[in-house]
Amino acid sequence: MILANVFCLLFFLDETLRSLASPSSLQGPELHGWRPPVDCVRANELCAAESNCSSRYRTLRQCLAGRDRNTMLANKECQAALEVLQESPLYDCRCKRGMKKELQCLQIYWSIHLGLTDGEEFYEASPYEPVTSHLSDIFRLASIFSGTGADPAVSAKSNHCLDAAKACNLNDNCKKLRSSYISICNREISPAERCNRRKCHKALRQFFDRVPSEYTYRMLFCSCQDQACAERRRQTILPSCSYEDKEKPNCLDLRGVCRTDHLCRSRLADFHANCRASYQTLTSCPADNYQACLGSYAGMIGFDMTPNYVDSSPTGIVVSPWCSCRGSGNMEEECEKFLRDFTENPCLRNAIQAFGNGTDVNLSPKSPSFQATQAPRVEKTPSLPDDLSDSTSLGTSVITTCTSVQEQGLKANNSKELSMCFTELTTNIIPGSNKVIRPNSGPRRATPSAALTAVSFLMLKLAL
C-alpha cells in the first residue's frame, strides 16, 4: 500500500514539473496571443526574409488592387494570403510620426489595411504607435517654464502667445524653421495667387515635426485673455495661405481628398483615435491623455485637412478645417458628425484649455486639476493685423502657462533650471489593447522547489 502511494506521488511530481516547464505556463492570461508591434519597415524586412510570408504578401497586394472586399475574400488564394499575414509581424506593425522612413512605413501599413474593411469607415484605426507621454512630461522638459515664481498680476496681463513666439526665437532650431515657413507662406506668387500653398504646407509640417512640442504647443495652444492675443494664436499657421481659400469645400469631399494621400489619411485617423470624444473618461479624451490629442491635432497642420481657430475670440475655443456641409445631400448627417468632431469636441477643447492653464489630468475627485466646461460658441469678430516680427529678448514678461501651486493644491518642486506644477497620470497599457497592467499583478505560480518540498514531506510522512 505504501509503495502504491509513493508511485502515485512520483507520477504527480513528474506531471507537475512538466506543467511548470511548459511555455504556456509562462504566459499570463492577459498576454496570451499578444505580441509587441514593430514598425512596418522592419516588419517588411522580416517578411521579405521568409519565403512563405513574402509570397503571401505579394499575393495580397495583387488581391487588393482594384477589387472590393467581398470580391477579394471570395478568392481562396487571397483568403489564404490574408490568414498567413495575420500571423506575421507585418499585420500588427505600426509607424512613428516623424520617423526617417515615415511615408514608406505608412505605405506598407495601408497596403494591407486598405480594403480589409467593409466599405468606407467613418473612423479608421491609427497606423501610429500609441502615445504614452503626458502634458506633464512637456512641462518638465520645458526650460522656459516658470509657473511657480510668476506674479499673478503680471501673468494676467501677459500676452502668452507673444511670449511663446519670443521663446521660440531663443531656440536656434525653432527660430530657423519658424522663419522659414513665415517667409514661404507670405511669399506672393502673382496677384491671382497669393502664395504657394503646397510649399507652405511642407514648411509647416517640417516646423511641427522637427521642433520640440514645448515650443510649438505654446504657440499653438497658448491661453489668451484678450482679442489681440487670440488673433496672434489664430495667425500662428499663416491661415491666409495655409488654411483659407476662396470657397469652402464640402467636408466629406475634403476628407475624400485627404484619404487619397497616405500621410494625410494617417494623420486624420490618428486625430480620431486620440481626440474622439469619450464619455467614459473624466476628461472626455481616450485614456484621459491630453498630450495624445494635442499631438494628433498638431500633426494635421500642413495637409488638406489643416485645422485652425475659426475666430479671434479669447472666451471660446472653436476649431475647424476649412470646409462646410453645404451640398451634402443625403450625407448631411454624416457630414455634420464629421465636422462636430472639430467644432464641438469636448476632448479637444478641454485639452487646449488644460495646456493653456498649465495643468494635466488629475483623477483625484478631491482636488481636480482642471474643470472641464462647455465653452459657448461665439460670433466671428474682426481680425487684427498680425505682427510677425518678434523681439528676441524676453524683457520683463514672464511665460506662465501654469496656474498657481496654491490653486492646484500641489507642493512646489523648485530647481535652478525650472519650476514645475503638474500632476501625473501613469498607467502601463499593452499597446494595441485596452488592458491595464498593474505592477506586481497577475497570477502567481508555484515554483518547482516548493512542489518538491511538499511532495518530499508527504513521502516521508507515509514512510513513517
**Whose CA is closest to 388, among 248, 214, 200, 180?**
180
Q: Is residue 422 predicted with pLDDT exceeding 50? A: no
Q: Is 428 helix (H, G, I), strand (E, B) or coil?
A: strand
List CB contacts of 64: < 8 A, sequence separation 6 or more.
72, 111, 114, 115
pLDDT at 227 over 60: yes
Cell, residue 385 = 493685423
% of the chain residues with pLDDT over 70: 63
Choice between 103 and 402, residue whose per-residue pLDDT is larger? 103
Tell me the three state secondary structure of residue 238: coil
Contact 358, 139 (CB under 8 A): yes
pLDDT surpasses 90 at 116: no
How many Å apart are CA 450 and CA 403, to the nearest integer? Answer: 55
Q: Within 13 Å, how many C-alpha atoms sit on residue 18's CB side?
A: 6
Grid cell, residue 43, equals 516588419
Query: What Å distances lie between residue 352 and 66, 242, 433, CA to CA?
Result: 42, 21, 26
Residue 74 in this model has a pLDDT that exceeds 90: no
pLDDT, tens digit, 9 for 90 and up, residues 198-216: 999 999 999 999 999 999 9
Residue 413 has pLDDT above 60, yes or no: no
Residues in the chain: 464
pLDDT of residue 5: 53
User: 283 pLDDT exceeds 60?
Assistant: yes
Q: Which of 132-141, 337-346, 382-391 is the least confident region?
A: 382-391
Over 50: is that where the pLDDT of 119 sits? Answer: yes
The one-letter amino acid code at 121 reads E
CATH topology of domain 157-355: Annexin V; domain 1 (1.10.220)
pLDDT mean over 284-301: 94
Overall average pLDDT of the 27-42 stretch: 59
Q: Is the pLDDT of residue 138 over 80?
A: no
Q: Please name the residues in contact with 392: beta carbons below 8 A apart, sequence gap of 6 or more.
A: 166, 169, 170
Residue 72's contacts (CB-CB under 8 Å, 6 or more residues apart) are 63, 64, 78, 115
Query: So what's the pLDDT on residue 459?
Result: 52
Compute the distance between CA of residue 329 and CA of residue 338 in angstroms, rounded to an integer: 15
Residue 59 near residue 82, CB atoms below 8 Å:
no
Confidence of residue 140 (pLDDT cuts 50, 70, 90): low
Mean pLDDT of 34-56: 85
User: What pLDDT digit, counting tens, does each position of 235-253 carry?
Assistant: 999 999 999 999 999 999 9
Answer whether 0.85 is exceeded by the pTM: no
**Structural contact between residues 201 and 195, judged by C-beta atoms closer than 8 angstroms:** no
194 in Cβ contact with 243 (< 8 Å): no
- Rounded CA-CA distance 296/310 in Å is 19
- Distance separating the N- and C-terminal Cα atoms of the chain: 13
For the chain, the structural domain boundaries read 38-111, 157-355
